Structure 1
Amino acid sequence: MQPNTKWGFVSKYIFQADINIKIHEFPNADAAWLHCVASHRRPTLSVDWAAEWQDYDILAGKVANDRTNPTITAYLAGLFGEVGSMRADEQCVSMLMPENLENQICLRTSAALACISFEGSEKVVCR
């Protein structure tokens, strides 16, 4: 898109779950969610954390994006204490203001991708 563009497109998909698909949902941005995000940002951080979610086709929970990146990077650097400690986890999660985070879905496998079908797109004008 060109700078100052006042429009964009929203793509629409239909999700049809397969009974063999393994889905894990994080209902809240909490320590478990943070450990999952951290293990995907830095796979060598903890084998135990990464192994916990490796068999899931779909992970759903609060968004971890450019807005949350500085806080998560500080957490991974140990600025809140030892990574994985209750103190560091609680401080990081509280700084992320989880009540303000939107939801996201991560389709991790080809089996998960096979569950979605493109339905079309729609032009959206920004105000």
Structure 2
Amino acid sequence: MKVYHGSTLVVQYPLAGVGRDNLDFGKGFYVTDIYNQAKRWASVMMLRRPDSSAMVNVYELDVARLSSANYKLLRFEGYNSEWLDFIVSSRQGKKPWIGYDLVEGGVANDRVFDTIENYIEGQISKDIALGRLRYEKPNNQLCILNQQLIDECLSFEECIIIK
């Protein structure tokens, strides 16, 4: 499966466990199978670093090898109750991803961020939050939390410079 990582850097040798704490699916290496999503993220990152270029790193994820190994995978099918609980727990620093090698599911991006924040702050109920999220079409992200999985299953192919 082709996956993409939007950045301002060429990331030929990705590392798990590098990055910010309390992200959606943990402190890991994030990729997506949606090229335009990675391209948008690279553009956002470039705005934060005006002297840089937006780049999309392209990888091949060996799904057959990933499935045949003893990796612990968690996949969310949409913006559902389990996904919301996981995201909230992550943002509160509870690290629900501990024990997983890869977590996949929808992105808590700008379109859904306000709903999640309103829910966390107690301004809306879980049912209302899920009702709002029902109308959003999830993008997709994969967070690779295990360096061995990266080394065995993810192969760098190229880096495409956007700007």
Kindly indicate whether residue 89 of structure 2 is the aligned counterpart of residue 34 of structure 1.
no
2:56·2:159 contact (CA, 8 Å) conserved in 1? Answer: yes
Task: Render the CA deviation track for 1:67-122: whole Å, top value 9, x for unaligned.
Answer: 32221111111111xxxxxxx22211222345422111111222333221211022
Tell me the residue number matched to 1:84: none
2:78·2:138 contact (CA, 8 Å) conserved in 1? Answer: no
CA distance, structure 1, for counterparts of residue 133 and residue 118 of structure 2: 11
Which structure's relative contact order is higher, taking Cα pairs within 8 Å and 6+ residues apart? 1
Q: Partner letter of residue 57 of structure 2?
A: S
Q: Tell me how large the CA RMSD over aligned residues is.
A: 2.7
CA distance, structure 2, for counterparts of residue 38 and residue 112 of structure 1: 26
User: Greater Rg, structure 1 or structure 2?
Assistant: 1
Ranges in structure 2 where 5+ consecutive residues have no aligned partner: 1-45, 48-52
TM-score (norm 1): 0.71
Ranges in structure 1 where 5+ consecutive residues have no aligned partner: 81-87
CA distance, structure 2, for counterparts of residue 111 and residue 74 of structure 1: 37
Q: Partner letter of residue 119 of structure 1?
A: E
Percent identity, aligned pairs only, is: 30
Q: Partner letter of residue 117 of structure 1?
A: S
TM-score (norm 2): 0.57
Q: Partner letter of residue 131 of structure 2?
A: S
Of 93, 100, 104, which residue of structure 1 is paired with 2:141?
104
CA distance, structure 2, for counterparts of residue 123 and residue 54 of structure 1: 34
CA distance, structure 2, for counterparts of residue 116 and residue 8 of structure 1: 21
Runs of 4+ in 1 over 3 A off after TM superposition: none
How far 1:62 sits from its partner (Å)?
0.9
Kindly indicate whether residue 74 of structure 2 is the aligned counterpart of residue 24 of structure 1.
yes
How far 1:19 sits from its partner (Å)?
0.4
How far 1:8 sits from its partner (Å)?
4.0
Work out the number of aligned pairs and report it. Answer: 110
How far 1:13 sits from its partner (Å)?
0.5
